[in-house]
Amino acid sequence: MKLYLKPVHYLPVTDPLVFFLPFRDYVDNVDSVESVEHSQSINLVLFFTVFVQLACAFRYGSEDLDVIGLSFRKDIWFKQIQIYPESHKPTLTPMHDTLLKKAGDNAYPFTFEIPTNLPCSVTLQPAPDDKGKVHLCFDFEVKTYLAMEADNPDEKIEKKDTARLIVRKIQYAPSQVGSGPKADICKSFMMSDKPVHLEASMDKDLYFHGESIPIKIKIKNESNKTVKKIKMTVEQLTDIVLYSADKYTKVVLSQEFGETVESGSSYDNTLSITPLLAENKEKRGLSLDGRLKDEDTNLASTTMLRPGLDKEVLGILVSYKIKVNLMVAGGGDVTVELPLNLMHPKPQGIFQSNA
């Protein structure tokens, strides 16, 4: 989010259209989504009608095909309004007032309400060994254009008469955090009369991107074997539910701890891990939060579902799990899994669009 207002799409003054946005991230609060409030400045119209459109699109195709216009794009939702001659008069908000002052004369305000059942902005880049898979993403685009008619498929819209901008629909962590998960297992080995007990737990059920994640480990080794080390992995699970049953599982963190637990002894300690995109820059096939131009991004946030919502309409579902693995001498292991919710904290003191 920007702490100040600026035109985020600029056309030379000789072009007819300029539109202003306060920011490009719009927050999905699970039960509601921020309104997309804009101001449109029209310099020259003549005999044209001016329309503005907000579309949620699914893109599927490699970047080289996109250059020659062959990549697949499907609009899964869009809304179009006419702003000149003026037919759309939204209820003005303080944000509108600010944008109208910024836009100057010949400015026309408009508002879009984003439904709660649309996917958040997510980009998935396939791994080199994912044969047949190509770049795919969900994004939101605001487009304004000049046309003679609203819905004439035969009318050619000139590029110079169009202004467009990608915005993002994102989710922030809820204000209330629940208690953390816990998992335990008791496993026996051949040639050993007694088992190894493992318990792993976390203090809370949600952590922020970049935050250290402490995991409490309790081991009771009653076997005649030695636990050589503890290995932790964090897996990102991506379920593409819009068009097929594709699933991607990618390890975003793998870390070993040289903790030894001898036969007949116990272990009780807290080990911390931090999954980061910075450690996976060369790894393709990860789900990332939607990117704006060349801005940096991060691992995709966990998809938060509203109770009763059909999962298929969300397009891509992202989740995480932590595996705690005990490596036992002589072969064999003991493993438990913990679910992980990974999100961004909601920024404080930032002017929201529906404030």
Report pLDDT for 26.
56
Neighbours of 14 (CB within 10 A): 8
pLDDT higher than 50, residue 352: no
Task: Give me the residue spans of the domains in the chain.
Answer: 17-171, 182-343
Instruction: Give me the helices (H) in 77-170, please.
Output: 94-103
Per-residue confidence band for 243, with pLDDT thresholds at 50, 70 and 90:
low
pLDDT, tens digit, 9 for 90 and up, residues 311-322: 666 778 899 999
Which of 8-12, 122-126, 220-224, 283-287 reaches the highest mean pLDDT?
A: 220-224
Burial of 99-120, coded b for 16+ CB within 10 Å and e otherwise, reads: bbeebeeebbbbbbebeeebbb
**pTM for this predicted structure:** 0.77
Residue 251 has a CB neighbour count (10 Å cut-off) of 14
CATH 1.10.3720.10 for the 17-171 domain, yes or no: no
Decide if 17-171 and 182-343 have a common fold. Answer: yes
Mean of per-residue pLDDT scores for the chain: 76
Given this model, what pLDDT does residue 17 score?
56
80 and 158 Cβ atoms separated by less than 8 Å: no
In this structure, CATH architecture of domain 182-343 = Sandwich (2.60)
pLDDT attached to residue 334:
93
Percentage with pLDDT > 90 across the chain: 27
Phi-psi region of 251 (alpha: psi -120 to 50; beta: other; left: phi over 0): beta
Tokens standing for residue 144: 């304004």
